[in-house]
Chains A and B, each alone.
Chain A
Amino acid sequence: QSVLTQPPSVSGTPGQKITISCSGDSSNIRSNSVHWYQLIAGEAPRLLIHDDDQRPSGVPDRFSGSKSGTSASLAISGLRSEDEADYYCVSWDDALSGLWVFGGGTKVTVL
């Protein structure tokens, strides 16, 4: 059971906009930044969004992040076939002595 809650799967057609949600609580998302990663089998995981809504250089502006309260979202606009991957949200959790917590991952399928 993951500390952060993501939908197991999201699908869309090419060109469509999809959104992946990430729900937490006051000890993680409300108090700390949310970061998003893309995992494709056989490749090194890729940082897509850091600090809630910051996009690293090289990441297309089709990817955007937002946060409100205890929830965060990753949006992918202009969906492309190469976006088919697993996406994870991550945040620091202040509980106990502190630790990184993750969502369970969302499988994005491009129909």
Chain B
Amino acid sequence: QVQLQESGPGEVKPSETLSLTCSVSDDSMRGTFWNWLRQSQGKGLEWLGSINHRGTTNYNPSLKSRVTMSIDTSKKEFSLSLSSVTAADTAVYYCVRGSVGVLIRLQHFQYWGQGIQVTVSS
């Protein structure tokens, strides 16, 4: 069973950058996609973006200008940066490992972290 753990600040000020890291227990980060999703209070799930072990990214078009993802396979970590945050970015953020495969559209979200609550507040 692959385990994932999100870490980062629980509170970010408006207009600043939200930065989260996900540590994974997988022996290898190859052969799949690593994802960030979020769930806002009273709202549904939203996909922020995906990254593979080569650093190839796919971002949600609605957030593309503000999202940056990176990966460090030697540390077994991947990260999320979301710039210019507002109250609308307050949410539980999940890091998620995709299923085995190289085509993102053929994957599913197989293993999830517990999630980390991030609040945007001055």
A and B form one complex: yes
- Chain A residue with Cβ nearest B107: A92
Known A88-B44, A102-B45; judge A43-B108 contact (CB<8 A): no
A97 to B49, CA, bound (A): 12
- The answer to whether A102 touches B46, judged by C-beta atoms less than 8 angstroms apart, is yes
A-B contact list, 19 entries, CB within 8 Å: A2-B44, A32-B105, A33-B108, A37-B109, A39-B39, A44-B112, A45-B94, A46-B112, A50-B110, A51-B108, A88-B45, A90-B45, A92-B105, A98-B58, A98-B104, A98-B105, A102-B47, A103-B44, A104-B44
Q: Interface of B with A (CB < 8 Å)?
A: 39, 44-47, 58, 60-61, 94, 99, 104-106, 108-110, 112-115
Residues of A within 8 A of B47 (CB): 99-102
- Chain B residue with Cβ nearest A56: B110
Residues of B within 8 A of A51 (CB): 108
- The answer to whether B109 touches A99, judged by C-beta atoms less than 8 angstroms apart, is no
B96 → chain A closest CB, angstroms: 8
B72 → chain A closest CB, angstroms: 23
A44 to B2, CA, bound (A): 12
B25 → chain A closest CB, angstroms: 13
B4 → chain A closest CB, angstroms: 8
Residues of B within 8 A of A33 (CB): 106, 108
- The answer to whether B45 touches A47, judged by C-beta atoms less than 8 angstroms apart, is no
> A43-B114, A47-B110 are known contacts; what are 6 more A-B pairs with Cβ within 8 Å?
A33-B108, A45-B109, A45-B112, A50-B108, A90-B108, A96-B61
Known A97-B61, A99-B60; judge A47-B44 contact (CB<8 A): no
A32 to B111, CA, bound (A): 20
- The answer to whether A105 touches B45, judged by C-beta atoms less than 8 angstroms apart, is yes
A78 → chain B closest CB, angstroms: 25
- The answer to whether A44 touches B105, judged by C-beta atoms less than 8 angstroms apart, is no
A93 → chain B closest CB, angstroms: 9
A88 to B94, CA, bound (A): 15
